[in-house]
Amino acid sequence: MHLSDRALGNEVQLVRKLYDLSKAYDSVVDLTLGDPDIPTPPLIREAAERAMENNKTKYTANAGIPELREAISRDVAERTGIRYSADEITVTAGAMGALYLTSCVLLNPGDEIIVLEPHWPNYSAMVRMCGAVPRFVSFLGEENLRNLAENIRALVNGRTRAVIINSPSNPTGRVLPMKTLEEIAQIAEEADLTVITDEVYRTIVFDGSFRSMLEIPGMKERTVLIDSFSKRFSMTGFRVGFLCAPKEIALNAARLEENVNSCACQFAQIACTAALENAHALEKEISDIFERRCRAMARELQKSRRIRMEAPQSTFYLFPDITATGLSSEEFAYRLLREKQIALVPGNAFNKAGEGYIRIACTLPEEKLVSAAREIVEFADRE
């Protein structure tokens, strides 16, 4: 059978590999996937159920239902001061749908895109699915952050089309400071690049430090905002996300959507509209849970002689440095699974800048996380 280079070149991600391996154990503590255990708030579920009872189980416009696009427009305006019109918003099947359509709209085969690493591996996979080439720049650690602008400039050439940033970041849980956003904005302007800003974790920030690329004057015209309901309202399975972008990008994304998903699920879109009407209370409750969990787990990990764990800042991921154990990220993850039945993700799953780190998703109740953290410390500190 003949299979495409695209299919054959798409390797199984290490995140999935660890998740799959963990299933071989009966009582494993699984901290691999970014899928929170918190149930979807009842108000959102009930809105979906009502919508189904009212037969809202059909196709919608490619760009999504008008009520949801209006609610998104209000929500984005409230936090950034930037107002998008309905034709600058395309609702998609999750942020993944928004990222894939954006890649299809912006990239031709051979084009290049700059990705800040360590990064969520789907970015580079999607870019490659479009025949384009991801180029990586590390933002991990103070020195890399200080030299980021210089390192990005060194990669920009005539084929560079865009930069992808993800703040708050999966896997690092760090937020990009305004100074860094301004430097990236300046390069984008100089080199006529689009900035794709993936902000799906922006409501899960513990120190108020999050700033958006959109706040920088003039950036609305060259930015694609990617966002989602998945993490913010604990509704990953509803598969609804969106992009906000200059009209020609949003309209072309909606046209391509016709050939990919046609549209996002209708009753899920109605549930998302209800979620946005109650956004503040719902998202605060979820963010508070993650803050308590991340802080409790980080406190335990900080007791280790060999694990370096900074104070958590955002998301529900911890990304401690384990280089002092003398193990590679993968050795650490595979041995921990075998010896302690705790599954987490080696940092190199997020590209080479992540080597020497592990990613822990705080997607279990606090007591389970704390006892897993004690086991991880015992493992790391063992002679």
Give the shortest CB-334-to-ligand PLP separation in angstroms: 22
Amino acid at 105: V
Q: Around 291, how many Cα atoms within 13 Å sit in the side-chain half-sphere?
A: 13
Residue 342 neighbours by CB under 8 Å, 6+ apart: 28, 29, 31, 336, 372, 375, 376
Give the shortest CB-167-to-ligand PLP separation in angstroms: 10
Q: Which of 40, 160, 170, 269 binds ligand PLP (CB under 6 A)?
A: 170
**Residues 369/38, Cβ–Cβ less than 8 Å:** no
CA distance 308 to 347: 14
Q: Which of 32, 124, 160, 166 binds ligand PLP (CB under 6 A)?
A: 166
**With binding defined as CB under 6 A, does residue 60 bind ligand PLP?**
no
Three-class secondary structure of residue 24 per DSSP = coil
Q: Which is nearer to ligand PLP, 294 or 380 (CB)?
A: 294
Span interacting with ligand PLP, options 94-102, 280-288, 300-308, 339-347, rule CB under 6 A: 94-102
Binding mask of the shown chain, residues 180 to 219, with x at each position contacting ligand PLP by CB under 6 A: ------------------x-x-------------------
CA distance 301 to 373: 6
**With binding defined as CB under 6 A, does residue 95 bind ligand PLP?**
yes
Span interacting with ligand PLP, options 41-49, 93-101, 180-188, 217-225, rule CB under 6 A: 93-101
CA distance 83 to 72: 10
DSSP state of 65: -
**Residues 201/230, Cβ–Cβ less than 8 Å:** no
Give the shortest CB-204-to-ligand PLP separation in angstroms: 11
DSSP state of 326: T
Span interacting with ligand PLP, options 56-64, 75-83, 88-96, 210-218, rule CB under 6 A: 88-96
Question: Which residues are near ligand PLP by CB under 6 A?
Answer: 34, 94-96, 120, 166, 170, 198, 200, 228, 230, 236, 241
